[in-house]
A and B are shown apart, each in its own frame.
Chain A
Amino acid sequence: EIVMTQSPATLSVSPGERATLSCRASQSVSSNLAWYQQKPGQAPRLLIYDASTRATGIPARFSGSGSGTEFTLTISSLQSEDFAVYYCQQYNNWPLYTFGQGTKLEIK
């Protein structure tokens, strides 16, 4: 099983600042990585797939990078609606998907 580890567990950032979230895979997943955003009481929403491709309707302030075992989600200028929990997920080891444990992005 591929283990996905996200850091930090909680990130405190002020609105308007940049947020950088990390995700590490226990073995290479190539670029087969997605990022999801989840707000309280809501379903997850796809943000990024193939490590760096924004999903339909996702603002340009969200960007993804990385390949192999190290990945980053960057939010360039935080808006109030961006404070949420973010999950990474590998889909290289089809069909055995695994998610990271999540990073909570909170207002500083």
Chain B
Amino acid sequence: EVQVVESGGGLVQPGGSLRLSCAASGFTFSVFWMSWVRQAPGKGLEWVANIKEDGSEKYYVDSVKGRFTISRDNAKKSLYLQMNSLRAEDTAVYYCARVEGYCSSTNCYKYFDYWGQGTLVTVSS
């Protein structure tokens, strides 16, 4: 059974840092892109970051560029999100998601097929 389980959320002051983790099981972690998606309280879904199977490519939504870093450890089957310079607007449930689909020679077409239960990050003084 495919599972992804997030951890590391909590309360942090504005300007602070937090590192989220996602433990994967039930599939070959090293052959899938992975993502973080967040959801502010009572709001919709927002994609945050993607990372390629081998970690060689990373992409971010503009609002977190320069502050968040996505990484992975394939030996540990784990995904991470290092969040620095946190702001109140970063308050959200953060979901880890497996990315499925394919890439052509010019583009990729990938969606989220499995999601974790999420971990809540609250940025407040």
Same complex: yes
Q: How far is the CA of A42 from the CA of B118 in the complex (A)?
A: 8
Task: Tell whether, in the assembled complex, residue A49 and residue B111 are in contact, meaning their CB atoms are under 8 Å apart.
Answer: yes
Which residues of chain B are within 8 angstroms of A46 by Cβ–Cβ distance?
Answer: 111-115
Complexed CA–CA distance, A91 and B100 (Å) = 11
Q: Which A residues touch B118, using CB under 8 A?
A: 43
| Nearest-neighbor residue (CB-CB) of B103 within chain A | A94
Q: Separation in Å of the A87 CB from the closest CB of chain B?
A: 6
**Residues A98 and B47 in contact in the complex (CB < 8 Å), given A43-B95, A91-B110, A92-B109:** yes
Interface of A is mostly: loop
- Check B112 against A95 for contact (C-beta < 8 Å): no
- How extensive is the interface on chain A, given as a class? 20 to 34
Number of A-B contacts (CB under 8 A): 57
Contacts A43-B117, A44-B95 given; does A87 touch B111 at CB 8 Å = no
Against A, the Cβ 8 Å flags (1 = close, 0 = not) of B43-61 are: 0111100100000000101
B28 at the interface (CB under 8 A from A): no
**Stretch from A17-25, A62-70, A71-79, A99-107 at the B interface:** A99-107
CA distance A103 to B70 in the complex (A): 30
**Structural contact, A87 and B113, CB atoms closer than 8 A:** no
